[in-house]
Amino acid sequence: MLTAADAADSLVNLWKAGAQGSLQQLRGAAPGADPDDNHVWARADAGEITAKTAYSRRYRQNYHGMTIGADHGFALDAGTAAIGLSAGQIRSTADYVQGRGDLTGTTLGLYGRWSADNGNYLLFAASASSLKNRYAARDSEGRDIVGKYRTQAGQLYAEGGHTFKLAKSYYVEPQLGLSLGAIRDSEHTTGNGVRISQDTLDASYARVGVAFGRTLEGARLAGNVYVRAAALHYLGDDLDLIASKQGGSIVPATSDRKGTSGELMLGGDVGFNNKRTSLFLEASGATGAETRQHWAVQAGLRHSW
């Protein structure tokens, strides 16, 4: 029962890690390209998460993924905008106290950015994900009890901010965002006949952040380096599960997700090939009430024409 709870909890972590990676890349796609440019890009993600759960349990999971996307930019009266599509898959292995899980998340997304000439900007993103965890739990006699947990998730995100330009190409950028997200209710039956039922999970949160960076400009090269810090306040629920068999049922406890968490990111990008092609890299970490992202890295390539 407890491993099934950790299996569901770790799938929430995987979905959130993939969603945060996409939003971090969108924030890093700073304006500056020609308004009518088309872009294609590819991004790789990797990281490690640990979580504390009830009854002094703890588990660890590593993840890696790949996302591709394309967008089209266009000029407006007082700024520029872009809209695009993305598709990605993220995989993870989780080591539970008494078992192991193999997790997969596949996501399709729509995103956009509007940047005004005066420094204001607005981001939006919408995504739909299919989530799966094939896990095995060891019982008291050392036997593996197999379960297959499947569900779907969705997210709507909007963020606004303003870029204040400072001396010597430095800038500071306050940010305010809101995410409305949910994971659908789901049921599955383990190999020993236990039915695991999960209620719909509200995973909404508010984000307040600030970025400080410097724009680098040359004749054939251009770039940007930055550090971001943010606080995320969770507005949703904890994960609710019921395990039942032969008329009896229990409610296994899961991680406490309520409260405020923090994240810190350091990154940069460099453009070459007459600034038509750019490489980007970002490293980050985050901590919450009972979940900690020890490290995360994303790297990718973006080309425009």
Distance CA 104, CA 159 (A): 27
pLDDT computed for residue 34 by the predictor: 60
Residues 50-59 pLDDT 10s? 998 877 788 9
Q: What is the pLDDT of residue 35?
A: 64
Would you give the end-to-end CA distance of the chain in angstroms? 53
Q: Convert the pLDDT of each residue in 217-240 to its tens digit.
A: 876 778 899 999 999 999 998 889
Average pLDDT over residues 102-131: 95
CA distance 276 to 291: 39
Digit-coded pLDDT (tens) for 117-152? 999 999 999 999 999 999 998 876 777 889 999 999
Structure confidence at residue 23 (pLDDT): 85
Task: Give which of 203, 223, 29 is closest to 112, Cα–Cα.
Answer: 29
Dig out the tokens for 263 from the structure.
């994240």
**Residues 32-51: tens digit of each pLDDT:** 556 668 899 999 999 999 99
The fraction of the chain above a pLDDT of 90, given in percent, is 67
pLDDT at 2: 80
Alpha-carbon span 106 to 19, nearest angstrom: 11
Q: What is the 3-state secondary structure (H, E, C) of 129-143?
A: EEEEEEEEEECCCCC
Spatial neighbors of 65 by CB under 8 A, at least 6 apart, are 18, 21, 44, 45, 46, 88, 89, 90, 91, 105
Summary mean pLDDT of the chain: 90
Return the structure tokens found at 265: 């990111």
- 177/19 Cα distance (integer angstroms): 14
Model confidence band, residue 280 (pLDDT cutoffs 50, 70, 90) = very high
Percent of the chain past pLDDT 70, that is, above it, reads 95
What band does 29 get if pLDDT is binned at 50, 70 and 90? low
Give the angle subtended at the CA of 102 by the CAs of 44 and 89, to the nearest 5°. Answer: 30
For range 278-285, the mean pLDDT: 94
